[in-house]
Structure 1
């Protein structure tokens, strides 16, 4: 979410992060975690809808390579472990365990 800048001409996307290869869906999981940690609790329904649009826009709505909600949950929990140290810095005001849009018990590793 910090990669989007609103300009007079529209939206500009910038990404100076490290180049990494990750499974399809991991970038959406990062967005879900960052948004929750910045703005607070996310609704599970909104997260599921975002995943559906993500898969459709990537041309994978019913494909075996689509990201499932279960995979998204695992990726988000993994990303949280990488992001937890930033709590109370860089705009992260909410701890992921307090704002995640599912119960921890719903994550199957």
Structure 2
């Protein structure tokens, strides 16, 4: 979720009037939502009707990062001496591998 969605979720309470969100008590400890760690990702959409604003699950089991072992290095032949420029490229990608491990929460705002 992004920070705007987190601001809205911070106000939610359970049936007994307790907040669902709790801030980290120790330095460097992440905030928690119903006991689960929260990561703020500004790339997620804002909370709105029909928007998948929160992703929840075990991302270690549900998302796979594919990394090629080779690293390509190219020396720039046009750089001015004594300075030499190098360009390095590496192929990395990823995709959801287990859709059951990650779920998206869609809100209906009235």
TM value normalised by structure 1: 0.26
Bigger Cα Rg:
2
Of Structure 1 and Structure 2, which has the larger fraction of its residues in strand?
Answer: 2
Structure with greater contact order relative to length (CA < 8 Å, sep ≥ 6): 1
TM value normalised by structure 2: 0.26
Of Structure 1 and Structure 2, which has the larger fraction of its residues in helix?
Answer: 1
